Structures are given as C-alpha cells and as structure tokens.
Amino acid sequence: MINPEGRITIISPDDGFTAVATGDTVSTGKNKQHALQITKTGSAGTFTLLVEGSLDNSNWYQISSITASGITQVTGIYPYLRARVSSLTAPDNVKVLYHGSI
C-alpha cells in the first residue's frame, strides 16, 4: 500500500487486529522517521505490536515492539514498513495508522 505524502494510511486490517496477524505494507520512500498511531479498544487485555521494516518488501526485520496505545516515532532506513500483532488477549481490537514521515 503506497502512502502519498500527507495521507494517513491504515496498516492494520480496516477494523483493527482482533487476532495475531500481519497488517498491510506501506511504502515509505526515502524517509527515515515515521509516526504511527496505535489505538486499542475492548477489555483490559494486552497486546504486543511489532513494527517491522524491509529493504525489499520480502525480508522483514523488527524495528520496534509496542505494548500500549498512543503515538510512537519509528526510525529506520527501510523503504517498507508493516505492523504485526504477535500477541493479543481477546476481546481486544488494535488499530494502527501510519501518519507518514516526520
């Protein structure tokens, strides 16, 4: 999924992650700093969201591990980013928005 400059892109499923899964890929171009907004709705459960980067959109490397809602800054040289939920206690819903470079 390409992110034109200035557009917010959902990189989780449209309704948010409701189970362990991998979200959409966003093409970041040559930008090195990115803002992600993570929101969790549901019970008092927990989640672990991994932000991963790739140089070739094939081989993925973990950049960050996030366990709380909020806005986070991610720095990396990767032209592709994606979000992957590695653990989630139901019935929660985790949504990830890519706000672009900062």
End-to-end CA distance of the chain: 19
Instruction: Supply φ then ψ for residue 20, to 5 degrees.
Output: -60, 125
Mean pLDDT score across all residues of the chain: 82
Three-state helix/strand/coil letters over 71-87: EEEEECCCCEEEEEEEE
pLDDT, tens only, 1-35: 444 444 567 777 777 888 888 888 888 877 778 88
CA dist 56 and 73 (Å) reads 22
Give backbone dihedrals phi and psi of 9, rounded to 5 degrees, phi first.
-120, 130
Domain chopping of the chain, boundaries: 9-89
Model's pTM, two decimal places? 0.82
**Per-residue model confidence (pLDDT) at position 55:** 92
